[in-house]
Amino acid sequence: MNNKLLQLFIRQSGRCFYCDGDTWLFGAGESKDAIRKRLGVPLAGNGSKKALRYRRATIEHLHRKVDGGSDKMENLVMACALCNSRRGELPVNIHLAATQDNREGEK
Ligand SMILES: [Zn+2]
C-alpha cells in the first residue's frame, strides 16, 4: 500500500485535485462493490473497466519529477488517473486552468 497516496486521498476527501471528481483507492477501506456503487460505475459492460481505471487515485507531482520536483508531501497532490495522464508535460497551473475550463463547459 502506498502510504503517501492514502494520505493524499484522505486529505482531499477522495476528490481529484484537477477535476474535483470522485476517485477510488484500494486500501482506503472500501470494497470494490462499494466503490462501483459510489462512483455510479456498472458492474459489467464495456465502459465499466475503463470508467474505473479513469477514476483511480494517483499521485501527482505539482512540480514534475523530471523537472526536479521532490517526493515530499508539499509537492504532491492526488489526481484521478485521467487528469494525471492528460497533464503530460504541462505546467500544473496551465493544466489546472484547462481542466477547470472543461468543467465549466460541461455545465
Ligand atoms: Zn480528475
Distance 19 CA to ligand 1 centre (A): 4
Looking up residue 15, the CATH number of its domain turns out to be 1.10.30
**Domain extent at residue 55:** 3-106
What are the tens digits of pLDDT across the range 43-78?
Answer: 777 778 888 999 999 999 999 998 999 999 999 999
Distance 79 CA to ligand 1 centre (A): 5
Tell me how many domains the chain contains.
Answer: 1
Q: Give me the helices (H) in 1-107, please.
A: 3-11, 32-39, 46-54, 81-87, 92-106
Task: Give the environment of ion ligand 1: residues with CB less than 5 A.
Answer: 16, 18-19, 21, 80, 83
What are the tens digits of pLDDT across the range 12-25?
Answer: 999 999 999 999 99
Cell, residue 13:
476527501
Distance 17 CA to ligand 1 centre (A): 7
- Residue 58's DSSP bridge partners are 79
Band of residue 101 on the pLDDT scale cut at 50, 70, 90: confident
